[in-house]
Structure formats: structure tokens, C-alpha cells
A and B are shown apart, each in its own frame.
Chain A
Amino acid sequence: MLISCAWLREWVRPNADIRALAARLTMGGLEVAAVTDAGPALGKRVVVGRIAAVNAMPGRANLKACEVDVGGRRPVAIVCGAPNIAAGDRVAVAMPGARLPGATVKKRRIAGVESAGMICSPAELGIDERADAVLQLDADTVIGRPLAEHLGLDDQILELELTPNRGDCLSVQGVAREVAALFSAKLRAPPGIADKTTVTERTKLPVELRAPAACPRYVGRAVCGVDLAARPPDWLTERLRRAGARSVNAAVDVTNYVMLELGQPLHAFDLGKLSGGIVVRQAKAGEKLRLLDGSRLTLRADNLVIADHAKAVALAGIMGGWDSAVSAATRSIYFEAALFPAQAMLGKARRFGMHTDASHRFERGVDSQLQARAIERATQLLVSIAGGRPGPLTDARANKFMPRPAVIELPRAEIARQLGVTVPAARVAAFLKRLGMQVAPLPGKAAGWRVTAPSWRSDVTGAHDLVEEVARLAGYDNLPSRPPRIVAAAAAARPETHVDAAQLKNALVARGYFEAITYSFVDPKTQAQLTAKRGILLRNPIAPNMAAMRRSLWPGLLDALRGNLNRRHERARLFEVGHVFRGGVDNRREVERLAALATGPALPTQWGARERGVDFFDVKGDLQAVLARAGQACQFRATKHPALHPGRAAQLRQGGAVIGHIGQLHPAHQRAMDLAQAVYLFDVDVAALANSELPAFTAVSKYPAVRRDLAVSVERGVGAQAALDATRAAAGPLLADLALFDVYAGRRMEKSRKSFALRLTFRSDSGNLTAARVDAQMARIVAALQRKLGAKLRD
């Protein structure tokens, strides 16, 4: 919302300069995003001139030699190429030495003719973008007067960012009311604005409100015999320009002006194109309507239209129709100022992809008492510009559906209860009165007020709204602050055994992983390849490759990896913790997962370590470090997974449940994603790791340990886990520690076999272990390995 300060000061004159005004508005809740000048400083060398004569230039069809009266003793000669120049026109003339935003004007010869200045377009003057024609000025403008003076360019424009609750501030009048309240200044409407129109025409249209809830009031008036070719005056078009509106013709300009001034959207129909009268009704399903902007709508039954007795002529509160639009040829117009309550207007324009000045205001609430006043103002302005005979005012109302002013009880204690401070009663009443509220004492014994909100503050409905108004006028910064205190009993501390994601993240960071945060939506195609399903789809994704809610963190991490490989980071270790979305929209499950990937050298470049690529067991070690934080007993079991290499994939099991996966990215995906090197991935459910076990002390043995190594060969299909499990089971409680310290398959072995080298540590709590006892234990283990796994003892 752009507000000209000069226009605003016509209504209210706070004792404040522009900076103080902007600061107070901002701190009052009407945020001033910017303050800009209404135009460049043009100085006194840009003046109003009158074209005295226009002479053709031989051989130069597009140039004219003009004689321009600039208030001196004789006209000056200026060569001009603009198409819209005629003798008698008042124009803006930049004299030699004038500084325009683009350049300083000099006397010069153009096509052999001396040109002593420049007739300027709005673009050359730096006040508008229009560059195809010179700026035309009012016919009665004083010749020789500096243009800046004539247009009042010494003005600033406030750019307000209004919140949606303050529809009442979408006009000069509304902002002026607010300024008056904030500064405790007097609000005065400009002279003449409230004048009643003298009716000189009998034409009157019947108005019928067939949808009174959506339109409880419709005010209309015919104005006959207007000349819409008449030029609106400079002061009016200049104010429109400063508010961001463009001059179209007298009728349209007047409706826009009144909307900007008072906040009531208006429409002007070509009266000659309306048949019978006005009917405000719901559209018929499938009814067609062509709008002012040329768009053709097919309406639904819940659209409200303004119709004549033949057809729909406007989309109510949004835009007028094409067929009944005014043009320069229009002789009689019909003004509309209606009330469409916000409730009925919400979302209606957006359903057609539209957003207009009118719909913006109606959706935020328009003052229910404004309509007749707006029509009177528009009539007055139109007649002054385009002449015409105003008809009688038609004010159709459905009183039952008219908004009632809210009457609110505000107990005095409520203010202290919300703000933490007691505001003196006199101040509260004064604040509320400044805002146009009627304030009376609360009936009964309780201290407080009965407050009636003004018709323009439809956002004020309850005591909490009044508390905010009091706070706003008092100034939030003047309200007290209280040191922090604990108001709720401190939550019971998490159990010691609880493992949160932060601890898991720390484990991975310690092992060289970087945390990534990737988007929760991924490419459905990639996701389908990696997880066998596309996932829950967004109806309005930002891009097709961000259309599916992730079922796994892997697609996002792989995407991040690809970006890093493109940036030549050959070694990457990334992880992410976040929600994944399983199932369908209706039976969705949102689960927190931890996933990681690693690729490139196993270690950062360093001396003394042979460089090798990261492999499955490096990453498994990292995953086990995470599991160790959680103190969870988990098993790895070979598995198949659509994302993973079929021979290098494992599921992570906890009891009977699969809580994660680990493996090498399937080489087919690796190729498809254009990744040069093998990638290892894991993924685990965070909730499954949330509970660790409380450490329980057992006595530390005083007796020495006995260490034995054992090498056995097994068929290649036998897993290390099976060998370790069988060993542990057979060894019994004396086995204090067991480690696999070598795996060998190769030339010194039968082709179908491999060997495991195990290191066993025995220890007893009750005495020294004898060699014989350990030997017996070892024999039992060997026997068990033979029996269960077909293992053979190696030498």
C-alpha cells in the first residue's frame, strides 16, 4: 500500500517529520517498509510551457519544430519527436541547464534547427515509465511555473506493509485515522468531501438483493450526459500515480481515486449497456462472463455476480464485465458501491487465479457505512471533470444481514492479566476513544468498560482485541518485561538409558562424517528405483524432481553426494537424521531415521597409510560405533535390497525386527547416477536405538587370563557370525573375550573353503585356569565347530 504524505497531511497533521511519522507507524503495527520521494528534484529549470505553434520539418516526418511559450517575452524554439503534440497544449519543458534524471539539458542543433530545450515525456522526467508521448498538463496551468511546484513533487511516499487484519487501513482515510490515534492528532476530512450532490436527473435503476448474506448493501447512481473524453486533472492523476494506479479515463480514475481515498471499491458501468436493473445474485452453474481484462469465465453456483435483467455484468467485488465497461464513447454511467462481507469474499478471487484492488479490500473487510458516502464523493468528482447530471441515489439494504458493531465488555483486570501491568483507567478510555470506539462504563460492580467498535474495525471482536489496541497505543516498548521464570514443573529428566539422535550424530561426527540436511521431497523416479515405491506425492511440487515425500534418506544423500563429486570432493562421508514418510497419505507413518554414506579413500590423504578405497567393513565399523552409543545388541544378516549390491547387503536386526540396512550401492544405480566410485550406505531407525541398558557392575576377576588362538577352515558359504556364535556357545562362561583376527581364502586353501583365525581369552572368577582345563574347553569348541559348521582344524 503506497500512501502519499501530502495526501495524508490533507487529512491529518501530526507534529512529526516523515521519519518520526514512519517510525511511529511501524511501532504502531503499520510497518513502513520504505519511504521514497514522489519524484526527482527537478529544480526551477523544468517549467510549464504552452505550445504556441507546431511546424513541420522538411524531410523529417517524425520531427516537429515547436514554438513554446515558457513565460518569457517570446517563445523558445524546441525540436520534438513526440506524436502527441498540438498547438495550445500545456507541456513540461526542460530548459537548457535543467537537470533531468538521465542528463543535463543543453541547447543544441537537431537536423539543422536550433533547439533550446526539451519537451519531456514522463520517463524523461523520472516520474513514470511512459516514454512514448510527452506529458500533457492541465489546460489552465500557469505558464512558466516550475513543474515540481505544479505537480507538488516535493512529497514522500510511504510504502506500508499491512497485516491482513487491518483492511481499514487500505486507504488514505484509514491511515489518517490511525495516524490521528497514534499521535493523538485531529482528523479532518478535506473540504467538500461530505457534500450532498444536487440531483438533476431522474434515471434510476431498480436494485434487487437476492443474496443478502453475500451482499447486504448495494448503493448505485446513474450519472447521465458525461463526457469521458474529458481529461482528469493533473492533481488527480498525479495522486493515482503515487498510489501506483494508472490514469484510464475520467470514470475509471474517479472510482480508483475514491477507493484510494476512502477505502470503498467502486465500479462504473456504461449505463447504456445495462438492461432493466441491477440484480445481485448467485451465478447459475455454467453461466459465462467476460471480464474487463478480457478473460472469459465459466461461473459456478457459489460465485456472486452483479447482473442486469438479462445477464451477469460483473464478478461481484472482484472485477467488472467487459460488455458493460465504460469507454470514451460512454454518455451515461452507473456507479456501484456495494458491501460484500469478508466472509463471503474469502478465496473467491483466488479460485480464478485473480487478485484485484477490490477483492483485496473486500477480503479484508470494508466499512459497512461507507458506500453512500463513496458514491457521493465519486459523483462530485466525476461531474467536476466530465460534467453530467446525477440521478437519485439508490441505497438497497438487507438490514437483517448488515454487520452489527461489536459490543465488547472489557474488565479492567483483563488488561493486567494479559499485559502484566495496570494501565490507568483514564488512559485506557482515552486510547479506545482515539480509535473511534464508543466507551461506556461496565454495568454492575466490576471495573471496566463496555466498548462499541467503529464500523470500520470489523477485526475487533473480543476483549483480547481491545487489550491489543491498548498495548499498541501505549507502545509495546513501554510495557514491562519480567525476568524469565519457570512456570511449569520441570519435566522429569530423560532416563539415563535414553539415547537421543544428538548422541548418534556425535558418534558419526567423531568418525569423520559431515551432517547434511536434504529436502524431504525427492525425485519419485529415483525413489522408486531405490526403494521400490514412489512414495506419497505432493499435489503442487516445486519441481517434478521434488515431488515425492522421501521414504528413505538415501535418495537425498546420494543427490548431495553427486553435487560434491561434481565439485571434486572425491572423498565424502555424509549423514542425515530426519523423518521419512512411509505408507500412503491416509495410513502414513512418519519415522525418524539415521542414514549415512561413504565413498572414496578410506582415510583422508595422509602419510604412513596405504591409500585404499572405503569398503563395506569400514562403514560397518562406523555403524557399529553408532550402535555402541545405543548399547544395542544387533545382528547383521545378508539380504537383498533394491538399492544395494545383491552380494553386499545386510539387514540390521534387533530381536526379530529389521531396524536398518547396510550395503554397497547397486552398481546399476551407481552407473545410472553417474557416480565414478563405489558408495557404501547405511540406514537405521532412530527410535529402535533410543533405549540402551543401564550398566550393571560385575566383579572384576583377580586371576590371570589365558589366551589361545584357533584357526579353522569352513566352506565359503559359512558366515563369520555363525562361527563366532558357535564358538561362544560352546565355550561357556569362561570365555571372556573372542575376536576374529584373520580371514583367509586363497592359494593355500581348497578352492571351496576359507579359514577363520579366532583369538579366545579365557578367565575364571574363582581361580587360576589350568592348561588342562583350557585345553578341554578348546577341544569342545573345535568339536562344536566341526559338528555345526563342518569346520576343520588348521595347523
Chain B
Amino acid sequence: MDSPRGRAVGVDELNAGPGPADPVALSAAAMAAIACADSPGELEALRVGYLGKKGQVTAQLKQLGALPAERRREAGRALNQAKTEIQKALEARQAELEGAAVDAQLQAETIDVTQPGRGQAAGALHPLTRTLRRMQRIFESLGFEVATGPEIEDEYHNFEALNIPADHPARAMHDTFYLAPGTVLRTHTSPVQIRHMRGRPPPLQVIAPGRVYRCDSDVTHTPMFHQMEGLVVARGVTFADLKGVLAHFARAFFERDLALRFRPSYFPFTEPSAEVDIACVFCDGRGCRICKHSGWLEVLGSGMVHPQVLRHGRIDPAKFSGYAFGMGVERLTMLRYGVNDLRLFFDNDLAFLRQFR
């Protein structure tokens, strides 16, 4: 390293000097030399040269005794001051050199922080699971608990107990898979209503998510899909409660202040029955291709539990009332994420699944 401070004064030169030197000059020379030292080795040599047992400062201190008493005191002070100055300079330079060494090492250790990290990349939940979890969380926050039921059902729970006797026209709307006479794949999650009512006394407030099956397969139908059933039975439950809960759900799920409309409809197990439409989330109700220019999207069916169904659930309809609803999980998922083909959910194409990481 070039010294910017002019010519360095070497230790040898200093040692070679005759007689006691001026401490101020000695200190100045030492400072200059220390500033020029480039390595810990050089610095050590300077320390030995000035402050070591045979160093110049040490040597001069030893010679103080030879001075006349009146000069001895002042010379001693000057020498000690020089010694302190040199010591400090040595330490400072030492620290400087060490810092530079560390810096150099760190510099040498630099890596490319933009190289990708190693290891497994994260997988993903199925989009329907995302939706189901979200639905569940919203309803749990309203005090609903989760109930489940079998996917292979008997006709009693799937139909009769829900007011759908054999040959009822509503049965024709359920393209039912049969496993044996009287044994079916559940066509909706509604049988869980009956099982739950029979399982415990009211008040009840449950949701029942799960797979359901219909013997139908085309562009807009898959033979298996998911529903989430809701059932609330207690004293004093009314259609107003149903409207309030579903409006809350729709707004929480879509995270916006959606308009809802309730349309009279027919389900054998509820009365009054209502289909619920939400303002189209793609056009805000102005009308677009997705909502067939109606401004509305049908998202669920609901109603007050039919008294006969309460009786099948061993609940007295004179004392208790209730409401029920059923939602299509695929439908909500398609609306939420803009998925345009139902069948993608069951193709399990990684290119599709990765989009939901």
C-alpha cells in the first residue's frame, strides 16, 4: 500500500540515531511509520522497535536516570506521552488492518443470492378443498358445527325421510346411482339432516359438507360433485334467520357487498323453499355471458324445514322450527376463481392444481 504521507521513516533508521532524541520528533516519526504499516507483521516490528524491551522509547526511558533531576521530570513526562501516543496509534492501526482483512474475507465469500433455494417446492390443496375450508370457517364463526354422513345411503334417508316418496317427480330430477334395491349413492347431502336430527335433540346448528353423486355426465355435469348442507333447528327460528345467514355467508365468501335475491322454488323437504341468486360477480349484475345476461347467478337452494321432515327427525314441528340450505361447492369455486370448466376439478392435471398453490 502506498503511503500518502510521504517518505516512511524506518525503524532501523531510528535505531541508528545517536543519543537521546526529542520525544516529540520520536513520536512523530513513529506515527508516520505506523500509518504506513501494511500488515500485522510490520506493525509488530514497529511495536518492538519503539516499545519493546530494546525499543527506542524503552531505551530512552532507561536513560532518564542519567539526566539531571530538573530535566528528568519533564523528559519523563514527554517520553511517557510519546509512549502512550505510539501505543494508541499501534492499536488503532491494528484494528484498521484487522477490519480490512475481515472485509476482504467477506468479499471473497460473496454468493449469488438470486440463485434459487434448494429442496422440495410446496404442493397445493385442491381448489375444492380451499373452498370447503373457507365455507366451513365462515359457518363455524357463526356457531355451526360440522356433521358427516355416509356416501352410500339407503333410500329412506336419501329420499323418503326427506318427503320424496318412490316415483315422486322430484326423484326423476335426481339421477340416482343404485348399488342394490334400496341402496343408493347419496344424491345430496340432505340425508345428513335426518341423521343429525335423530342423533341429538334440538337446538341444532350444523353444516354437512361432502361428496354427492348423480348418474349424469356431460359438459356441465360430473357424476360426482360436492355439496354443503346447512341445518338449523331451534325454537323461534324463521325465514328471516335464513335470509340473514345466507346473506352474511355470500358477502363473507365473495368478500364484497353482494346483492342477493330469494326466489320461491320447490324442494320436497322444505317449505317455503327458496332458490338464492347472487348479483353476478363477473359483471356486478349488469349482465354478461356467465350470468346469461340476467345479472344473477343461482348459487344455492334453501327453505324452512318441512314439518314432515322434522317429524322424520323425531322433532315436534309445533315446538321447533328450522331452516336448511344446500350449496354446490364446485359452483362456488368456479365463481370464486373463474374456473370455466367443471370437469377440470376431477382431471387432476398438475398444471391446473399448481394454480392453487
User: Is B348 close to A, CB under 8 A?
Assistant: yes
B203 x A487 contact (CB < 8 A): yes
Size of the chain A interface, CB-CB below 8 angstroms: 89
B178 x A540 contact (CB < 8 A): yes
B241 x A517 contact (CB < 8 A): no
**Chain B residue contacts of A509, Cβ below 8 A:** 122-125
Min CB gap A195→B, angstroms: 35
A481 x B272 contact (CB < 8 A): no
- Bound Cα distance A164, B266 (Å): 8
- Residues 599-612 of chain A: 1 if any B CB is under 8 Å from the residue's CB, otherwise 0? 00001101111000
B351 x A27 contact (CB < 8 A): no
A346 x B167 contact (CB < 8 A): yes
**Chain B residue contacts of A420, Cβ below 8 A:** 238-241
User: Is A573 close to B, CB under 8 A?
Assistant: yes
User: Is A567 close to B, CB under 8 A?
Assistant: yes
List CB contacts (< 8 Å) of B181-201 with chain A. Answer: 183, 185
List CB contacts (< 8 Å) of A316-364 with chain B. Answer: 346-348, 350, 363-364
A517 x B118 contact (CB < 8 A): no
- Bound Cα distance A587, B350 (Å): 37
**Chain A residue contacts of B216, Cβ below 8 A:** 542
- Bound Cα distance A614, B213 (Å): 36
Partner of A484, one of B120, B150, B173, B244: B244
User: Is A747 close to B, CB under 8 A?
Assistant: no
Partner of B128, one of A421, A517, A588: A517
On whether A564 and B348 interact (CB within 8 A), knowing A420-B241, A511-B120, A511-B123, the answer reads: yes
On whether A364 and B272 interact (CB within 8 A), knowing A419-B239, A542-B223, A608-B118, the answer reads: no
Q: Which residue of B lies closest to A419 (CB)?
A: B239
B266 x A163 contact (CB < 8 A): yes
**Chain B residue contacts of A467, Cβ below 8 A:** 271-272, 304
Min CB gap B126→A, angstroms: 4
On whether A26 and B263 interact (CB within 8 A), knowing A363-B169, A464-B304, A502-B133, the answer reads: yes
- Bound Cα distance A608, B118 (Å): 8
User: Is B63 close to A, CB under 8 A?
Assistant: no
User: Is A772 close to B, CB under 8 A?
Assistant: no
Min CB gap B112→A, angstroms: 10
- Bound Cα distance A606, B115 (Å): 10
- Bound Cα distance A604, B266 (Å): 52
Surface stretch bound by B, among A285-293, A384-392, A468-476, A648-656 = A468-476
**Chain A residue contacts of B247, Cβ below 8 A:** 481
- Bound Cα distance A26, B298 (Å): 12
User: Is B72 close to A, CB under 8 A?
Assistant: no
Size of the chain B interface, CB-CB below 8 angstroms: 82
**Chain A residue contacts of B133, Cβ below 8 A:** 502
Name B's interface SS.
mixed
A518 x B348 contact (CB < 8 A): yes
Partner of B211, one of A488, A574, A578, A608: A578
**Chain A residue contacts of B129, Cβ below 8 A:** 505, 515, 517
**Chain A residue contacts of B211, Cβ below 8 A:** 520, 578-579
On whether A28 and B241 interact (CB within 8 A), knowing A483-B248, A512-B121, A573-B123, the answer reads: no
On whether A350 and B346 interact (CB within 8 A), knowing A27-B261, A487-B143, the answer reads: no
B351 x A569 contact (CB < 8 A): yes
**Chain A residue contacts of B241, Cβ below 8 A:** 420, 482, 484-485, 487
- Bound Cα distance A521, B217 (Å): 14
List CB contacts (< 8 Å) of B229-255 with chain A. Answer: 232, 234, 236-241, 243-245, 247-248
A477 x B244 contact (CB < 8 A): no
Partner of A542, one of B121, B217, B348: B217
User: Is B18 close to A, CB under 8 A?
Assistant: no
- Bound Cα distance A490, B262 (Å): 28
A607 x B203 contact (CB < 8 A): no
A585 x B179 contact (CB < 8 A): yes
User: Is A417 close to B, CB under 8 A?
Assistant: yes
User: Is A733 close to B, CB under 8 A?
Assistant: no
Q: Which residue of B lies closest to A492 (CB)?
A: B145
B353 x A464 contact (CB < 8 A): no
Partner of A346, one of B115, B169, B237, B263: B169
User: Is A724 close to B, CB under 8 A?
Assistant: no
**Chain B residue contacts of A222, Cβ below 8 A:** none
Q: Which residue of B lies closest to A519 (CB)?
A: B224
A486 x B143 contact (CB < 8 A): yes
User: Is A508 close to B, CB under 8 A?
Assistant: yes
Q: Which residue of B lies closest to A501 (CB)?
A: B129
A517 x B346 contact (CB < 8 A): yes
A464 x B142 contact (CB < 8 A): no
Question: Given A28-B264, A420-B239, list of 17 further CB < 8 A pairs?
Answer: A27-B264, A363-B169, A417-B321, A419-B240, A421-B240, A483-B248, A488-B232, A509-B124, A514-B354, A515-B126, A517-B129, A517-B348, A539-B180, A560-B348, A564-B350, A572-B350, A607-B115
The 6 closest A-B CB pairs, nearest first, are A347-B167, A420-B238, A29-B264, A420-B240, A163-B266, A486-B143
| Chain A residues with a Cβ under 8 A of chain B | 26-29, 31, 163-166, 346-348, 350, 363-364, 416-421, 462, 464-465, 467-468, 471-472, 476-477, 479-491, 502, 505, 508-521, 536-542, 546, 549, 560, 563-564, 567, 569, 572-574, 578-579, 581, 585-586, 588, 590, 603-604, 606-609
| Chain B residues with a Cβ under 8 A of chain A | 115-116, 118-126, 128-129, 133, 142-143, 145, 150-152, 165-170, 172-173, 177-180, 183, 185, 202-205, 211, 213, 215-217, 223-224, 232, 234, 236-241, 243-245, 247-248, 261-266, 271-275, 304, 306-307, 321, 345-351, 353-354
22 contacts between A and B (CB under 8 A): A27-B264, A29-B264, A346-B169, A420-B240, A468-B272, A476-B262, A476-B272, A479-B240, A487-B232, A488-B204, A489-B203, A508-B123, A514-B123, A516-B353, A520-B151, A540-B215, A549-B152, A563-B348, A564-B349, A581-B152, A603-B119, A609-B118
